[in-house]
Amino acid sequence: MSQEEKLESLKKRYGRKRPAEGFGGPAGPGPGPGGPGRAKRMGFGRPANGKGTILRLLGYLKGDTLKLFLAFVCIILNTIGTLLGSYLLRPIINTYIVPADGSRGDPAGLTRALALMAFIYLVGVGANYLQARIMLTVAQTALKKIRNDLFGKMQSFPVRFYDTNSNGDLMSRFTNDVDTVGMMLSNTLVQLFAGILSIIGTLLLMIYTNLWLTLVTLVMIPLMMRAGKAVAKRSHRFFSAQQASLGAVNGYIEEMITGQKVVKVFCHEQAAQEEFDLLNRDLRDNQIRAQFFGGVMGPVMGNLSQVNYSLTACIGGLLCIFRNFDVGGLTVFLNFSRQFSRPINEISMQISNVFSALAGAERVFSVMDEAPEPADDTDAAVLEPMKGHVALDHVTFGYYPEQVILKDISLYAKPGQKIAFVGSTGAGKTTITNLINRFYDIQGGTITIDGVDIRHIRRDNLRKNIAMVLQDTHLFTGTVMENIRYGRLDATDEEVIQAAKTASAHSFINRLPQGYQTMLEGDGANLSQGQRQLLNIARAAISRAPILILDEATSSVDTRTEKHIEHGMDRLMANRTTFVIAHRLSTVRNANAIMVLEHGEIIERGDHEDLVAQKGRYYELYTGLSELE
């Protein structure tokens, strides 16, 4: 592969921004899990429904109408102050510096007039300050509401939502997109309004001061804008190239930092360095080009406005000599013609900000519009206390309707019974547990608890009564104590310690620097995988739920520790319905019933002795497993 091809492929891989696309309605049928379709669907850069989005954004400003009104009054005051202040120079020059009658200037009058001018400017500045304060409060209040709505919505989403959307993308909606909206609310809107006001005001004053000179400016401004545009267009191209290179370099660095260990393990440091060098050089080249053109743009515009200035001064001077145009008028006019082009440039910049903010707002709103978990039936049951009879009756399920994962699963578990699921990876063990607590709803058959269909049990009631150790552990930022207590918030310290003992976590916790008060950060990065699992088990152990689900809860724990846990757990499981998924035989051997799953079907069931006697799949697994142990 040539260097260029290599660079292209690297940039394609790492230069991609975060998958910043829109959501497609409720996760519809997509290609299989893990396929490219699972990651993302259609996207948009520009707002698709600008008007609706604007109205919705305005809805967030509703409570602050009075403040908004005040802010706009301030903007008007500021514009008037600025224009009036500049215009005042005309009478000042004409009356106090070079009086029309040829007499000498009047220093005292000049001082008074200048004081008045300063006062007017001050009022303008004060109004501007007030406006900025008000708009900041208004915008931040709106942002707070938006973030709250978004977060509230996220808590209500079904598990499916999180399974089908990338975390990075969600995070960027929460941060980047909300931020761009905030920028627009606090800044852009104001600047647009102020810019338009000041253009109109300046133009009117220019016409009032001298019509002919105004015509000169009106001819020159479009010329200046065209030149600016030409430069901007090219620099935009180089600027995009620079951003792409920058994205690639950042993406590469990010991946190499997170994957540093793997890089070291396979001795890829040299290759990584070379690849980085390639990307880095590309960034340098593009940055030079972009910044050169960025740097050219200013001077070009500057030169043209010098031309405009000289031309106006020249014609204005002639008008003074031959047409009685006053010197004061010429002075303020020259100022105005300088000021005139500034808001025009600003407005064109702000308009692109508005577009990106609207696109951001749309991405935020599209999350808000996702369907939440359907509400419980109004007559949904509350089982208090729940005993823990669990029955699956001919259950059929697929994450996508046309792709059946579980076929015709039936089983019955009494309180105090231990049901084990065994089977190869991908057989559907975790999926069954996801159905019992209604992370997903089934497509066929019924699941009942204590004889009640779980679709007619209130979700909070259902989930409160099922303690679960998920296959993927998660620890929150907080102390060990707090993390275990997450399982039951009213547990006392003694109960937490008891649960830790049950889970065989007590001794290692005591060896941590601050024992139970040790802070865990970054999902427990300072613990071993097995220790994380023990904490998750302790969290389940502290709950008093009558149903317990352990999904490969001890997969990273050594066999000796696992035996310890089992003794503790036996007590815990005594009168609970327990579902265990485990790869170790010792864990499943004493279960009341073992279900062997294969491609989503129960192919064998019975207790350990029955299944060994059958000499089927379980026997195969068993003999294989016992060899390993």
Ligand X SMILES: Nc1ncnc2c1ncn2[C@@H]1O[C@H](COP(=O)(O)OP(=O)(O)O)[C@@H](O)[C@H]1O
Query: Which H helix or E strand runs over 266?
Result: none
How many residues bind ligand X (CB under 6 A)? The answer is 12
Of how many residues is the chain composed? 629
Residues 155-174 that bind ligand X (CB under 6 A): 163
By the rule CB under 5 A, 433 interacts with Mg ion: no
Q: How far is the CB of 553 from ligand X (least distance, A)?
A: 13
Buried b / exposed e across 302-326, counting CB within 10 Å, b at 16+? eebbeebeebbbebbeebeeeeebb
CB of 422 to Mg ion, least distance (A): 11
**Residue 107 or 426 with smaller CB distance to ligand X:** 426
Number of residues that bind Mg ion (CB under 5 A): 2
Closest Cα to residue 392, out of 161, 587, 593? 593
The per-residue DSSP string of 450-472 comes to TTEEGGGB-HHHHHHTEEEE-SS
Q: What residue 566 binds from Mg ion, ligand X, none (CB within 5 to 8 A, per partner kind)?
A: none
428 interacts with, out of Mg ion, ligand X, none, CB within 5 to 8 A per kind: ligand X
Q: Which is nearer to Mg ion, 195 or 600 (CB)?
A: 600
Residues 456-475 touching Mg ion, rule: CB under 5 A, are: 471
Q: Which is nearer to Mg ion, 50 or 398 (CB)?
A: 398
Beta strand residue intervals within 62-194, DSSP E: none
| CB 543, CB 499: distance < 8 Å | no
- DSSP helix/strand/coil, 503: coil
Q: Which of 235, 430, 434, 533 binds Mg ion (CB under 5 A)?
A: 430
Residues 6+ apart with CB under 8 A from 529: 473, 556
Select from 340, 399, 516, 618 the one that contacts ligand X (CB under 6 A): 399
Q: Which option in ligand X, Mg ion, none does residue 107 bind, with CB closer than 5 to 8 A by kind?
A: none
CB of 535 to ligand X, least distance (A): 21
Binding mask 5-44 for ligand X (x = CB under 6 A): ----------------------------x-----------
Q: Residue 393's beta-bridge partner residues?
A: 446
Binding positions for ligand X, 419-448, rule CB under 6 A: 423, 425-431
Q: Which is nearer to ligand X, 89 or 596 (CB)?
A: 596
Minimum CB distance to ligand X smaller for 273 or for 403: 403
Q: Which is nearer to ligand X, 163 or 482 (CB)?
A: 163
Closest CB to ligand X among residues 598, 607: 598
The nearest distance, CB 452 to ligand X, in angstroms, is: 25
> Cα 442 vs. chain centroid, distance in angstroms?
31
**CA 218 – CA 210 distance, rounded (Å):** 12
The residue among 359 and 597 lying less far from Mg ion, judged by its C-beta, is 597
Q: Is 416 helix (H, G, I), strand (E, B) or coil?
A: coil
Query: In this structure, are residues 97 and 110 in contact, taking their beta carbons and an 8 Å threshold?
Result: yes
CB of 16 to ligand X, least distance (A): 23
DSSP string covering 184-253: IIIIIHHHHHHHHHHHHHHHHHHHHH-HHHHHHHHHHHHHHHHHHHHHHHHHHHHHHHHHHHHHHHHHHH
Bridge partners (DSSP) listed for residue 396: 444
Residue 33 near which of Mg ion, ligand X, none (CB within 5-8 Å, type-dependent): ligand X
Q: Which secondary-structure segment (H or E) carries 568?
A: helix 559-573
Contact of residue 333 among ligand X, Mg ion, none (CB under 5-8 Å per partner type): none
Q: Which of ligand X, Mg ion, none is residue 25 near (CB under 5 to 8 Å by kind)?
A: none
Give the nearer residue to ligand X in terms of CB position, either 111 or 529. Answer: 529
CB 235 within 8 A of CB 293: yes
- Contacting positions for Mg ion (CB under 5 A): 430, 471
- Contacting positions for ligand X (CB under 6 A): 33, 163, 399, 405, 423, 425-431
